[in-house]
Amino acid sequence: MTEMMMDLQKAYDSIKDKIPFTPDVALVLGSGLGGFAEHIEDKVYIPYNEIDGFPVSTVVGHAGTFVCGHIGDVKIVAMQGRVHYYEGYSMDKVVMPIRIMKLMGAKTLILTNAAGGMNFDFVPGDLMMITDHITSFVPSPLIGKNIEELGTRFPDMSHVYDADLQNIMKETASKLNIELKQGVYLQTTGPNYETPAEINMYRSLGADAVGMSTACEAMAAMHMGMRIAGVSCITNLAAGMNKTPLNHKEVGDTANMIADKFTALIKNFIINIK
Ligand code: HPA
Protein backbone atom coordinates (compact mmCIF):
# COMPACT_ATOMS: atom_id res chain seq x y z
CA MET A 1 0.00 0.00 0.00
CA THR A 2 1.34 3.49 -0.82
CA GLU A 3 2.00 5.88 2.06
CA MET A 4 -0.77 8.15 0.84
CA MET A 5 -3.26 5.28 0.81
CA MET A 6 -2.24 4.41 4.36
CA ASP A 7 -2.90 8.02 5.43
CA LEU A 8 -6.28 7.91 3.75
CA GLN A 9 -7.15 4.60 5.36
CA LYS A 10 -6.09 5.94 8.76
CA ALA A 11 -8.26 9.04 8.31
CA TYR A 12 -11.21 6.92 7.21
CA ASP A 13 -10.76 4.44 10.06
CA SER A 14 -10.78 7.28 12.61
CA ILE A 15 -14.38 8.18 11.70
CA LYS A 16 -15.86 5.06 10.19
CA ASP A 17 -17.89 4.25 13.31
CA LYS A 18 -19.50 7.72 13.14
CA ILE A 19 -20.70 7.37 9.55
CA PRO A 20 -24.38 6.39 9.77
CA PHE A 21 -24.66 4.75 6.32
CA THR A 22 -23.07 4.28 2.91
CA PRO A 23 -23.80 7.59 1.15
CA ASP A 24 -25.22 7.58 -2.38
CA VAL A 25 -24.08 11.11 -3.12
CA ALA A 26 -21.19 13.30 -1.96
CA LEU A 27 -21.73 17.05 -2.07
CA VAL A 28 -19.19 19.85 -1.68
CA LEU A 29 -20.67 23.18 -0.60
CA GLY A 30 -18.77 26.24 -1.81
CA SER A 31 -18.13 29.66 -0.28
CA GLY A 32 -21.30 31.07 1.25
CA LEU A 33 -23.30 27.98 0.21
CA GLY A 34 -22.84 25.97 3.40
CA GLY A 35 -26.36 26.95 4.51
CA PHE A 36 -27.66 24.20 2.24
CA ALA A 37 -26.69 21.75 4.97
CA GLU A 38 -29.70 23.00 7.01
CA HIS A 39 -31.90 21.18 4.49
CA ILE A 40 -30.31 17.82 5.18
CA GLU A 41 -32.50 15.62 7.41
CA ASP A 42 -31.34 13.33 10.26
CA LYS A 43 -28.03 15.16 10.38
CA VAL A 44 -24.88 13.63 11.81
CA TYR A 45 -21.88 16.00 11.96
CA ILE A 46 -18.30 14.78 11.70
CA PRO A 47 -16.05 17.85 12.21
CA TYR A 48 -12.84 17.72 10.19
CA ASN A 49 -10.74 18.22 13.30
CA GLU A 50 -11.92 14.81 14.57
CA ILE A 51 -10.47 13.11 11.50
CA ASP A 52 -6.92 11.80 11.71
CA GLY A 53 -4.55 13.82 9.50
CA PHE A 54 -7.35 15.80 7.89
CA PRO A 55 -6.75 19.33 6.54
CA VAL A 56 -8.85 21.90 8.40
CA SER A 57 -10.17 24.92 6.47
CA THR A 58 -9.01 28.32 7.67
CA VAL A 59 -11.30 30.47 5.50
CA VAL A 60 -14.09 32.61 6.92
CA GLY A 61 -17.40 31.18 5.65
CA HIS A 62 -16.10 27.60 5.57
CA ALA A 63 -17.33 25.68 8.62
CA GLY A 64 -15.27 22.53 8.26
CA THR A 65 -17.48 19.54 8.88
CA PHE A 66 -18.93 16.55 7.08
CA VAL A 67 -22.72 16.50 7.36
CA CYS A 68 -24.28 13.08 6.78
CA GLY A 69 -28.03 12.74 6.33
CA HIS A 70 -30.95 12.49 3.93
CA ILE A 71 -32.36 14.58 1.14
CA GLY A 72 -35.66 12.84 0.48
CA ASP A 73 -34.65 9.18 0.58
CA VAL A 74 -31.17 9.85 -0.84
CA LYS A 75 -28.31 9.31 1.59
CA ILE A 76 -25.76 12.08 1.29
CA VAL A 77 -22.52 13.20 2.80
CA ALA A 78 -21.90 16.92 2.42
CA MET A 79 -18.74 18.89 3.00
CA GLN A 80 -19.68 22.11 4.73
CA GLY A 81 -16.46 23.95 4.01
CA ARG A 82 -13.64 22.78 1.80
CA VAL A 83 -9.89 23.26 1.90
CA HIS A 84 -8.07 25.30 -0.72
CA TYR A 85 -4.62 25.15 -2.23
CA TYR A 86 -4.04 28.81 -1.32
CA GLU A 87 -4.27 27.93 2.38
CA GLY A 88 -0.90 26.27 1.99
CA TYR A 89 -1.95 22.63 1.79
CA SER A 90 -0.45 20.40 -0.86
CA MET A 91 -2.84 19.37 -3.62
CA ASP A 92 -3.07 15.82 -2.29
CA LYS A 93 -4.27 17.22 1.08
CA VAL A 94 -6.76 19.47 -0.72
CA VAL A 95 -8.41 16.47 -2.39
CA MET A 96 -8.18 14.20 0.66
CA PRO A 97 -11.81 14.88 1.70
CA ILE A 98 -13.01 13.84 -1.77
CA ARG A 99 -11.06 10.60 -1.48
CA ILE A 100 -12.49 9.95 1.98
CA MET A 101 -16.04 10.41 0.68
CA LYS A 102 -15.27 7.84 -2.03
CA LEU A 103 -13.96 5.47 0.65
CA MET A 104 -17.28 6.01 2.48
CA GLY A 105 -18.89 4.57 -0.63
CA ALA A 106 -20.22 7.62 -2.51
CA LYS A 107 -20.23 7.03 -6.26
CA THR A 108 -21.62 10.40 -7.33
CA LEU A 109 -20.03 13.75 -6.52
CA ILE A 110 -21.67 17.16 -6.78
CA LEU A 111 -19.23 20.05 -6.65
CA THR A 112 -20.38 23.62 -6.01
CA ASN A 113 -18.51 26.87 -5.74
CA ALA A 114 -18.63 30.64 -5.86
CA ALA A 115 -17.03 31.94 -9.03
CA GLY A 116 -16.37 35.11 -10.96
CA GLY A 117 -18.17 35.31 -14.27
CA MET A 118 -16.18 36.33 -17.33
CA ASN A 119 -18.69 35.34 -19.99
CA PHE A 120 -20.31 38.60 -21.13
CA ASP A 121 -23.75 36.95 -20.95
CA PHE A 122 -23.43 36.23 -17.22
CA VAL A 123 -24.64 38.44 -14.36
CA PRO A 124 -23.98 38.10 -10.62
CA GLY A 125 -26.56 35.76 -9.17
CA ASP A 126 -26.51 33.37 -12.14
CA LEU A 127 -26.08 29.64 -11.65
CA MET A 128 -23.73 27.99 -14.14
CA MET A 129 -23.66 24.26 -14.71
CA ILE A 130 -20.03 23.27 -15.25
CA THR A 131 -19.61 21.46 -18.58
CA ASP A 132 -15.80 21.21 -18.49
CA HIS A 133 -12.85 22.76 -16.72
CA ILE A 134 -9.34 24.13 -17.19
CA THR A 135 -6.79 23.14 -14.54
CA SER A 136 -3.65 24.09 -16.44
CA PHE A 137 -2.85 26.90 -13.99
CA VAL A 138 -2.76 24.70 -10.86
CA PRO A 139 -0.70 21.58 -10.10
CA SER A 140 -2.45 18.25 -10.59
CA PRO A 141 -3.48 16.49 -7.36
CA LEU A 142 -2.39 13.27 -9.07
CA ILE A 143 1.30 14.23 -9.13
CA GLY A 144 3.45 11.81 -7.12
CA LYS A 145 3.33 8.05 -6.77
CA ASN A 146 0.06 6.85 -8.20
CA ILE A 147 -2.37 5.45 -5.62
CA GLU A 148 -3.15 2.27 -7.55
CA GLU A 149 -5.93 1.36 -5.10
CA LEU A 150 -7.81 4.48 -6.22
CA GLY A 151 -7.20 4.65 -9.95
CA THR A 152 -4.95 4.44 -12.95
CA ARG A 153 -1.73 6.43 -13.50
CA PHE A 154 -2.95 8.27 -16.60
CA PRO A 155 -6.70 8.87 -16.21
CA ASP A 156 -8.74 10.12 -19.15
CA MET A 157 -10.31 13.56 -18.66
CA SER A 158 -12.40 13.73 -21.85
CA HIS A 159 -15.74 13.67 -20.03
CA VAL A 160 -15.22 14.84 -16.47
CA TYR A 161 -18.76 16.18 -15.97
CA ASP A 162 -21.15 13.31 -16.55
CA ALA A 163 -23.47 13.79 -19.54
CA ASP A 164 -26.48 12.10 -17.90
CA LEU A 165 -26.09 14.22 -14.77
CA GLN A 166 -25.91 17.34 -16.94
CA ASN A 167 -29.17 16.38 -18.62
CA ILE A 168 -30.84 15.73 -15.28
CA MET A 169 -29.62 19.07 -13.95
CA LYS A 170 -30.94 20.92 -17.01
CA GLU A 171 -34.33 19.17 -16.70
CA THR A 172 -34.46 19.89 -12.96
CA ALA A 173 -33.71 23.59 -13.53
CA SER A 174 -36.25 23.86 -16.30
CA LYS A 175 -39.02 22.27 -14.19
CA LEU A 176 -38.23 24.71 -11.38
CA ASN A 177 -38.14 27.67 -13.79
CA ILE A 178 -34.57 28.37 -12.80
CA GLU A 179 -32.39 29.82 -15.52
CA LEU A 180 -29.27 27.65 -15.70
CA LYS A 181 -26.26 28.97 -17.58
CA GLN A 182 -23.57 26.55 -18.76
CA GLY A 183 -19.86 26.92 -19.16
CA VAL A 184 -16.24 26.08 -18.56
CA TYR A 185 -14.77 26.66 -15.08
CA LEU A 186 -11.13 27.66 -14.75
CA GLN A 187 -9.24 27.12 -11.50
CA THR A 188 -6.53 29.47 -10.32
CA THR A 189 -4.41 29.04 -7.19
CA GLY A 190 -5.73 32.23 -5.55
CA PRO A 191 -5.83 33.69 -2.97
CA ASN A 192 -5.56 36.92 -4.93
CA TYR A 193 -8.25 37.71 -7.44
CA GLU A 194 -7.17 37.99 -11.05
CA THR A 195 -5.95 40.98 -13.04
CA PRO A 196 -8.09 42.21 -15.94
CA ALA A 197 -5.34 41.02 -18.32
CA GLU A 198 -5.56 37.52 -16.85
CA ILE A 199 -9.33 37.52 -17.20
CA ASN A 200 -9.02 38.52 -20.86
CA MET A 201 -6.55 35.66 -21.36
CA TYR A 202 -8.77 33.13 -19.57
CA ARG A 203 -11.77 34.22 -21.60
CA SER A 204 -9.83 33.82 -24.83
CA LEU A 205 -8.88 30.31 -23.68
CA GLY A 206 -12.55 29.40 -23.52
CA ALA A 207 -13.31 29.82 -19.82
CA ASP A 208 -16.63 31.26 -18.63
CA ALA A 209 -16.08 31.35 -14.86
CA VAL A 210 -13.06 31.52 -12.59
CA GLY A 211 -12.51 30.31 -9.04
CA MET A 212 -10.02 28.83 -6.61
CA SER A 213 -11.31 25.29 -6.14
CA THR A 214 -13.37 22.48 -7.70
CA ALA A 215 -11.40 21.45 -10.78
CA CYS A 216 -8.67 19.73 -8.73
CA GLU A 217 -11.39 17.91 -6.78
CA ALA A 218 -13.07 16.85 -10.01
CA MET A 219 -9.73 15.56 -11.25
CA ALA A 220 -9.18 13.44 -8.12
CA ALA A 221 -12.77 12.16 -8.32
CA MET A 222 -12.39 11.31 -12.00
CA HIS A 223 -9.23 9.37 -11.14
CA MET A 224 -11.39 7.27 -8.79
CA GLY A 225 -14.14 6.78 -11.37
CA MET A 226 -16.81 8.90 -9.68
CA ARG A 227 -19.77 10.40 -11.54
CA ILE A 228 -19.34 14.15 -11.32
CA ALA A 229 -21.62 17.18 -11.59
CA GLY A 230 -20.69 20.80 -10.91
CA VAL A 231 -22.43 24.12 -10.35
CA SER A 232 -20.89 27.57 -10.01
CA CYS A 233 -22.72 30.44 -8.35
CA ILE A 234 -21.62 33.49 -10.27
CA THR A 235 -21.11 35.83 -7.34
CA ASN A 236 -19.44 38.69 -9.21
CA LEU A 237 -18.23 39.80 -12.59
CA ALA A 238 -14.55 38.94 -12.98
CA ALA A 239 -11.79 41.53 -12.62
CA GLY A 240 -11.89 44.44 -15.05
CA MET A 241 -15.54 43.91 -15.99
CA ASN A 242 -16.79 46.26 -13.29
CA LYS A 243 -15.54 49.56 -11.88
CA THR A 244 -15.68 48.34 -8.27
CA PRO A 245 -12.82 46.26 -6.81
CA LEU A 246 -13.52 42.58 -5.98
CA ASN A 247 -13.89 41.47 -2.39
CA HIS A 248 -14.70 38.32 -0.43
CA LYS A 249 -17.73 39.98 1.22
CA GLU A 250 -19.41 40.56 -2.16
CA VAL A 251 -18.87 36.87 -2.94
CA GLY A 252 -20.57 35.85 0.32
CA ASP A 253 -23.39 38.40 -0.07
CA THR A 254 -24.30 37.23 -3.58
CA ALA A 255 -24.10 33.58 -2.54
CA ASN A 256 -26.55 34.36 0.30
CA MET A 257 -28.82 36.23 -2.09
CA ILE A 258 -29.20 33.20 -4.37
CA ALA A 259 -29.31 30.63 -1.58
CA ASP A 260 -32.99 29.79 -2.21
CA LYS A 261 -32.48 29.22 -5.94
CA PHE A 262 -29.32 27.22 -5.30
CA THR A 263 -31.01 25.11 -2.62
CA ALA A 264 -34.02 24.34 -4.80
CA LEU A 265 -31.82 23.28 -7.71
CA ILE A 266 -29.44 21.11 -5.69
CA LYS A 267 -32.15 19.52 -3.54
CA ASN A 268 -34.28 18.50 -6.52
CA PHE A 269 -31.26 17.48 -8.55
CA ILE A 270 -30.18 15.10 -5.78
CA ILE A 271 -33.66 13.58 -5.62
CA ASN A 272 -33.79 13.24 -9.41
CA ILE A 273 -30.43 11.52 -9.85
CA LYS A 274 -31.24 8.67 -7.49
N1 HPA B 1 -12.11 35.09 -9.01
C2 HPA B 1 -11.67 33.98 -8.37
N3 HPA B 1 -12.38 33.31 -7.49
C4 HPA B 1 -13.62 33.76 -7.21
C5 HPA B 1 -14.15 34.92 -7.82
C6 HPA B 1 -13.35 35.61 -8.77
O7 HPA B 1 -13.76 36.65 -9.36
N8 HPA B 1 -15.39 35.09 -7.32
C9 HPA B 1 -15.61 34.08 -6.44
N10 HPA B 1 -14.54 33.27 -6.37
- 256-272 pLDDT, tens digit per residue, is 889 999 999 999 999 99
Nearest CA to ligand 1 atom 7: 116
Position 58 scores a pLDDT of: 62
CA-wise closest residue to 91 among 80, 99, 79, 101 = 99
Give the mean pLDDT of 120-139: 97
> Which of 11, 12, 31, 229 is labelled catalytic?
31
Check if 213 is active-site.
Answer: yes
Burial of 178 (0-12, 13-18, 19+ CB in 10 A): middle
d(CA 77, CA 26): 5
Check if 236 is active-site.
Answer: yes
Residue 237 Cα to ligand 1 middle (Å): 8
pLDDT at 227 over 90: yes
Position 118 scores a pLDDT of: 98
pLDDT band per the 50, 70, 90 thresholds, residue 78: very high
pLDDT band per the 50, 70, 90 thresholds, residue 229: very high
With a 6 Å cutoff on the Cβ, whether 228 touches ligand 1 is no
Nearest CA to ligand 1 atom 3: 211
d(CA 3, CA 47): 24
Q: Give the C-alpha distances (Å, rounded to integers) separating 214 from 66, 110, 145, 207.
A: 17, 10, 22, 14
Position 57 scores a pLDDT of: 62
> Which of 78, 91, 212, 238 is labelled catalytic?
212
> Which of 5, 63, 86, 250 is labelled catalytic?
86
Give the mean pLDDT of 43-62: 78
Which secondary structure element, helix H or strand E, spans residue 35, and what is its range?
none
Give the mean pLDDT of 97-103: 96
Position 59 scores a pLDDT of: 60
SS3 (DSSP) at 116 = strand
Check if 31 is active-site.
Answer: yes
Name residue 118's beta-bridge partners: none
The percent of residues above 90 in pLDDT, for the chain, comes to 78
d(CA 270, CA 73): 10
